[in-house]
Amino acid sequence: MLSACSSFSFLPGSKPSIPTPIAANPAAIRIAVLAPEAFRLEEGDLDLTVYQNGGSNEISHDYTLVSVDPSEAKAAIAKFRKPGQVLHLYRLAPSDALALRDQQQEMAAARERGKAKPGFSVDLDKACWDGPVYAPGVPLDVLIEAGGEEGFHPLLSDIDIFALLNRPEESRLKPCS
């Protein structure tokens, strides 16, 4: 299983580097996947999970991301991009952005009742590899932009594709068929 995640603890006086799932603007959420050219994600293969753990109830929902023109984020991700990486850019579908608004209200209410730890997770399990297996390779990075002034923030950094291809069968990056 390959996923990228970011969770938030609310400490007095601390400010998270990206908006929390409760404060994020659903219409502005963007997920950037920076990967080698042979790393493949088909439309509908990438899910964003917005969750909140702790307290008396867990709140979690998966949203399928849709691809958008990567040129809209090229400048914003330039400082993260490594040689050989290709940019894939995704956002929530409009109907999912509305559903996330409802989830945010539920999460905010639950947070007021007790400890809560919200977060984002991106599931890359449906990705595949369409190229030769070699090492060392171009790393995989996953970034999120959630509507704040800070821009993109890393969720997953410098993942070695060769290591993913050589994991045990159940968790490895599969070859494309």
- The Cα 37–Cα 121 span in angstroms is 23
User: Does residue 105 fall inside a structural domain?
Assistant: yes
Do the domain assignments include residue 103?
yes
Place of tokens 């730890």: 117
pLDDT tens digits along 55-109? 667 899 999 899 999 998 999 999 999 999 999 999 999 999 999 999 999 998 8
| Amino acid 171: pLDDT | 85
80 in any annotated domain? yes
**15 domain residue, yes or no:** no
Tally the domains of the chain.
1
CATH number of the domain to which 131 belongs: 2.60.40
> Does 174 map to a domain?
no
Range of the domain at 141: 3-10+20-166
pLDDT tens string 105-143: 999 888 877 777 888 999 888 899 998 877 668 999 999
Q: For residue range 6-18, list pLDDT tens digits in order.
A: 544 444 444 456 6
In this predicted structure, the answer to whether residue 23 has a pLDDT above a threshold of 60 is yes
> Given strand 140-145, what is the order of strands in its sheet?
3-7, 117-123, 47-53, 59-68, 86-92, 30-35, 140-145, 153-159
Entry pTM: 0.86
In a domain, 173, yes or no: no
In a domain, 176, yes or no: no
